[in-house]
Amino acid sequence: MVLEELGAGTTVGWSWLVAPYRWQFGAVVTDDIRALEFNAAGIRALIAENDELGRELSARFLSVVADRLRTARHRLVGLYAYPADTT
């Protein structure tokens, strides 16, 4: 089930931020992309050393998570509140 299609400049993945650090969702690329990958353990260590950085990153990723949950909720409501006419 496709919950959301993401575009350029979008953050994909936040599982590295919260234990047990396992992917919760998958993603499929349908076009050529350029992506950045970060060392999750290194960033978690920086967050542990710098409270201000930890608050900033947490706030930014919480915003991403909230937006994804809102989008998933709207998608699921659309699927289940208005089922396709089968007559």
Cα(8)–Cα(44) distance, integer angstroms: 25
- pLDDT, residue 84, reads 64
More confident residue, 86 or 46: 46
Asked if residue 2 is part of any domain, the answer here is: no
- Pair 26, 4: CB distance under 8 Å: no
- pLDDT, residue 56, reads 96
pLDDT tens per residue, range 31-73 = 888 888 899 999 999 999 999 999 999 999 999 989 988 988 8
**What residues make up the domain containing 60?**
15-81
- pLDDT, residue 87, reads 57
Asked if residue 77 is part of any domain, the answer here is: yes
Asked if residue 1 is part of any domain, the answer here is: no
Q: Is the pTM of this model over 0.75?
A: no
Question: Which residues have a Cβ under 8 Å from the Cβ of 58 and sit 6 or more positions away?
Answer: 17, 47
- pLDDT, residue 49, reads 97
Asked if residue 87 is part of any domain, the answer here is: no
Asked if residue 6 is part of any domain, the answer here is: no
Q: How many domains does the chain have?
A: 1
